[in-house]
Amino acid sequence: MENTLDISQIAAAAEKLSANIGKVIVGKQETIRLVLVALLCEGHLFIEDVPGIGKTMLAKATAHSLGCNFKRIQFTPDLLPSDVTGIYYFNQKSSEFEYRPGPIMANIVLADEINRATPRTQSCLLESMQERQVTVDVATIPLPRPFMVIATQNPVELEGTFPLPEAQLDRFLLKVRLGYPSAAEEGEILRRFQQDNPLDNLTSVISAAELLELQRLCRQVHVEASIRDYVVAITQATRSHPGVKLGASPRASLGLYQAAQARAATEGRNYVLPDDVKQLAVPVLAHRVIVKAETGLRGQSAENIVGEIAATLPVPVEGAPGKHK
């Protein structure tokens, strides 16, 4: 009974966050749900879409909805790693070297247009995203918790950009797209932003301490052994697919497993269903899969392949999930 109550608290918190973000972002409920999944897993989020869709607005609305420290980094070709991580400098007053924190020392970090920075600067995020720490000179400094990187990327303008390496992409739990709004949604955007920006009046609905507790509770969501095997089977299938050059990593398997737990919790369930895994397979795995050149020429993308794998693999049917309380 106690576990059920805890899970209901996660669902209630997710509803509050979704409603708060929805004051700024019109529609896009499925994308907002994926943002909540990333938050509950303390995973990193990669938002890729064309300009003007609301990528930065979504990241800001998420940060404003949490009682957390928020920093934004505008990635440019002249941005240096020290501009992100901070530096040690000599304080003449104290005659000692002191650490001046960079913008990475925050709970929520917006890496805006991340592909505009050089590979050297992009790589300074690798340690932060995986190990929740930064190394400056010889000192290793832990990052505040919770910690989340929300990166945006414009896939249209390729001039002056540097593609993200596979190691960087693999550290993002989810990749999402917003897409163009419908006519009704676009009309609502015009009405909502007619006078004031609703982002200016957005208040936090969950504190950092509450979010950490919700993240801990998500790990307690029950996963049947057959569903765990289903997660592994999907990931393994990306490595053996004839059209794939590089399949998803074991880190991807763990990400899919934890994301399924979070998705179940946001719906008030303390057990994972196969549908949780199927719905998350593309946003969790596709950006980590590299297709062969000839596969791309035939019009097949990583999203198509992962979606096809999730749709065709046998779904586990054993067990009665309703008994897992």
Beta strands in 126-239 (DSSP E): 133-136, 139-142, 148-153, 174-176, 206-207
* Mean pLDDT for the chain overall: 88
Tell me what pLDDT residue 324 has: 45
Average pLDDT value for residue range 127-152: 91
Q: Is 325 helix (H, G, I), strand (E, B) or coil?
A: coil
Which of 218, 238, 261 is the C-terminal boundary of a domain?
A: 218
Structural domain of 260: 221-317
Residues 148, 18 share a domain: yes
Residues 42, 31 share a domain: yes
Query: How does DSSP assign 171-191, residue by residue?
Result: T-SEEE---PPPHHHHHHHHH
Which residue, 238, 208, 217, is CA-closest to 304?
238
Residues 208, 230 share a domain: no
Tell me what pLDDT residue 2 has: 44
Residues 262, 122 share a domain: no
Of 253 and 323, which is predicted with more confidence?
253
Of 250 and 67, which is predicted with more confidence?
250
Answer yes or no: are the C-beta atoms of 274 and 230 closer than 8 Å.
Answer: yes
Within a domain: 322: no
Tell me what pLDDT residue 257 has: 97
Of 180 and 317, which is predicted with more confidence?
180
Average pLDDT value for residue range 71-94: 90
Number of domains in the chain: 2
pLDDT in tens, 225-252: 999 999 999 999 999 999 899 999 999 9
Which of 218, 249, 267 is the C-terminal boundary of a domain?
A: 218
Q: How confident is the model at residue 310 (pLDDT cuts 50, 70, 90)?
A: very high
3 pLDDT above the threshold of 50:
no
Rounded to two decimals, the pTM is 0.88
Q: How confident is the model at residue 224 (pLDDT cuts 50, 70, 90)?
A: very high
Residues 296, 168 share a domain: no
Average pLDDT value for residue range 246-260: 95
Q: How confident is the model at residue 318 (pLDDT cuts 50, 70, 90)?
A: low
323 pLDDT above the threshold of 70:
no
Tell me what pLDDT residue 1 has: 37
Question: Cα separation of 226 and 204, whole Å?
Answer: 39
Tell whether omega for the bond before 146 is within 30 degrees of 0, i.e. cis: yes
Tell me what pLDDT residue 303 has: 92
Domain CATH for 9? 3.40.50.300
Domain CATH for 262? 1.10.8.80
Tell me what pLDDT residue 5 has: 47
Tell me what pLDDT residue 49 has: 86
325 pLDDT above the threshold of 60:
no
